[in-house]
């Protein structure tokens, strides 16, 4: 069983961070440092159907010293593990934690308080995804109201 993409991936090493994963192909390779540090163990994935997932990397060998030094790319395969259902409130809290720990990636173009307010007003996974995408891409024209109405049209 696999999650339904896109996903919002939240990591916690060394601080909370997130990214949007549009397809499983985006997770098909990893840097040697990621593999050596077993960073996938600190990631959780929220899918659009309200399911929380984790993953294990299959057949991954520890990189040698040269691969670590060069931080080489390695091919990886994921085995998905369904964890539990989650509520929209839980996803919003995870995103707020990432915004609060952010170092001008999510908040490069929008103030953290404004971004949190937009996330808090979201009514769905898709709303949150669109708000995060807009903030990362400096799309100030896209307000949370516009996100909500576009999502309603898409889903309805």
Query: Which range of residues forms the domain containing residue 20?
Result: 7-85
Domain ends where: 39, 56, 85? Answer: 85
Shared-domain flag, residues 29 and 56: yes
Shared-domain flag, residues 81 and 92: no
Cα separation, 133 vs 138, in Å, equals 9
pTM (global) more than 0.85:
no
Confidence of residue 62 (pLDDT cuts 50, 70, 90): confident
Query: In this structure, what are the phi and psi dihedrals at residue 80, rounded to the nearest 5 degrees?
Result: -85, 140
Q: Is residue 1 part of a domain?
A: no
| Sequence-separated (6 or more) residues with CB below 8 Å from residue 153 | none
Shared-domain flag, residues 106 and 58: no
Q: Is residue 78 part of a domain?
A: yes
Cα separation, 110 vs 93, in Å, equals 18
Tokens of 69: 């030094």
Shared-domain flag, residues 12 and 77: yes
Reported as a single tens digit per residue, the pLDDT across 23-42 is 999 999 988 888 888 878 88
Query: Tokens 């934690």 — which residue?
Result: 97
Tokens of 66: 């040269």
Q: Is residue 60 part of a domain?
A: yes
CA-based end-to-end distance of the chain: 27
Q: Is residue 47 part of a domain?
A: yes
Structural domain total, the chain: 2
């Amino acid at each position: 069983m696999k999650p339904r993409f896109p996903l919002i991936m939240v990591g916690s090493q060394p601080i909370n961070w997130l990214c949007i994963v549009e397809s499983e192909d985006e997770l098909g390779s990893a840097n040697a440092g990621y593999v050596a540090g077993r960073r996938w163990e600190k990631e959780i994935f929220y899918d659009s159907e309200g399911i929380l997932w984790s993953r294990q990397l299959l057949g991954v060998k520890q990189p040698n010293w040269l691969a670590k030094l060069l931080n080489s790319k390695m091919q990886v395969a994921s085995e998905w593990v369904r964890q539990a259902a989650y509520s929209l409130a839980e996803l919003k809290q995870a995103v707020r934690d990432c915004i609060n720990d952010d170092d001008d990636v999510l908040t490069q173009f929008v103030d953290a308080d404004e971004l949190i307010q937009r996330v808090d007003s979201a009514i769905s996974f898709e709303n949150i995804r669109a708000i995060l995408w807009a903030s990362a891409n400096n799309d100030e024209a896209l307000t949370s109201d516009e996100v909500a109405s576009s999502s309603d049209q898409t889903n309805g």
